[in-house]
Amino acid sequence: MRGEPLPPYFRMDPDLAAAELGDPTDSAGFAEIARACDAGRADLASRGLGENGLRQLRPFSTWEITRYLIPVAPAHFRRVLRQNPELPQGRSETEGGAKWFSLDEVLRLRAHFGAEGSKAKPYLPYRPKGLPAKMVAVANFKGGVGKTSTAAHLAMSAALDGYKVLVLDLDSQGSMTSIFGGKVADEWQTIYPLLARHYASHLQVENRHRADRGETPLPLDETLTEALKLKTGDLVQKTHWPNIDLIGAQLNLYWAEFQVPVWRMQARGWKLWDALTDTLEEDGLLDSYDLVFIDTPPALGYLTINGLAAADILLVPLGASFLEFDSTGRFFDMLHTTFASIEEGENLAARALGRPEMAFQWDAVRALVTRYDASQQGELAALMQAYLGRTLSPHRQDFTALIGQAGEQVQGIYEADYRDFNRETYARGRETFDETYAALKKLLVGIWRREELAAQSSAAQ
């Protein structure tokens, strides 16, 4: 129709387009772009730092503590503090203002209520004695589904609930590491040396067998020799969360995707998929923590296979769209093909040698709808639920304004100060993440209880 403006792709002036184009980019140009991004990242990250240049976790008010962290009435909470002056008393920012507590202090207060409070109230999170930590892998090979954000917020939720958490970043992009303020100089501060150590240990065993047969031993190069000296604890970093530790990642970790298949070609008997599980167990990490969250790369490579093989619970985030549903279906198909292939190869040899066969098993596998918009995606989400049934968590993680604002401030929802919004906005914004964690915790508590009962039954027999 006449009078309406033409679409922007009509009547372009070739000379003007050429003038605005700029010079061609060569490989050095990528380095310049990377440096600009690095400078911008440092600027953004510094906005979340304290005066000492380190990430700091904000304090928590009496209102937050009694509503979200310790289930007591505010009046009773204040009364307990008055009766126990040796407990943290909090700090007021104004005369007669609200009391604020660090998370360390909240953990001490929770321990006190757990020991001295009503036995009918669950002040401490459920954790059976004698059972190892549970490992939760968050994975999908489609990017942009909220994988890292979901893993990070679940780790924070569990920490606020009182669990001791270890976060493993297996993604060489290092986004999870950035969220928790980790500093990783090179691949030797990632899980890479743990994979190398596991392979080197296999070679040592193999070489003893080769020596018995009079064969030449396989060489252990400098990398493998150094890896044998390293323990998992050497890689663990403290974070600004008192009960969240981190094994971080950085770009050089991607080298593992090339090195692992080389090692596998040199030693076909090496069970590479067990490398992460075995080293964590051997070094006692599963006794030192309650939960281990594993953030995997958005691809089904060797690092992801290690993370998935180690996991007790697998969470697969996806959006409520046709393409993401379709992609996630292909992801599960690849999981089946990959792990069934490993089982087939291992069990072929096991049957020939008369050994027990192996089978991968996960305590729970759940898909989770993220970035959900009920007004636009309700019908498709319902269809996905109908097809996936129990595999798809009935809780859908909404996208709220609070999520976007917290992201701009380089922090998680739980790190955002509700005074930057208002209580109602904050409560609504964190509600969707609280429900996501509740769904995970229900799985966790059920699994631990099942194992606890099995252990009791076994002991009775």
Compare 35 and 194 and report the one with higher pLDDT.
194
At residue 291, does pLDDT exceed 80?
yes
163-to-18, 64, 71, 125 alpha-carbon distances in Å: 59, 18, 16, 7
Mean pLDDT of all residues in 71-88: 94
At residue 406, does pLDDT exceed 70?
no
Mean pLDDT of all residues in 193-207: 95
Residue whose entry in the numeric block shows the structure tokens 């594993």: 294
What the block records as the tokens of 32 is 């310049």
**CA-based angle 29:33:38, to the nearest 5?**
145
Mean pLDDT of all residues in 324-329: 89
At 401 the pLDDT is 59
Which stretch of DSSP H or E encloses residue 165?
A: strand 165-169
Instruction: Report yes or no: 314 and 362 within 8 Å, Cβ to Cβ.
Output: yes
Cα distance between residue 5 and residue 228, in whole Å: 69
Spatial CA neighbour of 136 closest among 348, 408, 444:
444
Question: Which of the four pLDDT bands, split at 50, 70 and 90, describes residue 83?
Answer: very high
* pLDDT tens, residue by residue, 9-48: 788 888 887 887 777 877 787 788 778 877 776 666 666 5
Question: Which of the four pLDDT bands, split at 50, 70 and 90, describes residue 410?
Answer: low
Mean pLDDT of all residues in 171-178: 92
* pLDDT tens, residue by residue, 217-275: 888 899 999 999 999 999 999 999 999 999 999 999 999 999 999 999 988 889 999 99
* DSSP code of residue 134: E
Rg (CA), the chain: 26
Which stretch of DSSP H or E encloses residue 317?
A: strand 313-318
At 49 the pLDDT is 56
Entry field: residues in the chain = 461
Instruction: Report yes or no: 444 and 376 within 8 Å, Cβ to Cβ.
Output: no
Mean pLDDT of all residues in 41-66: 75
How far, in whole angstroms, is CA 251 from its chain's centroid?
17
Instruction: Report yes or no: 126 and 442 within 8 Å, Cβ to Cβ.
Output: no
List b or e across 104-126, with b for residues whose CB sees 16 or more CB atoms inside 10 angstroms: ebbbebbebbbeebeeeeebebe
Cα distance between residue 159 and residue 249, in whole Å: 21
Mean pLDDT of all residues in 285-296: 95
Question: Which of the four pLDDT bands, split at 50, 70 and 90, describes residue 305?
Answer: very high
What the block records as the tokens of 435 is 């429900």
Q: What are phi and psi of 135, to 5 degrees?
A: -105, 130
Give the start-end residues of each E strand in 321-411: 364-372, 392-398
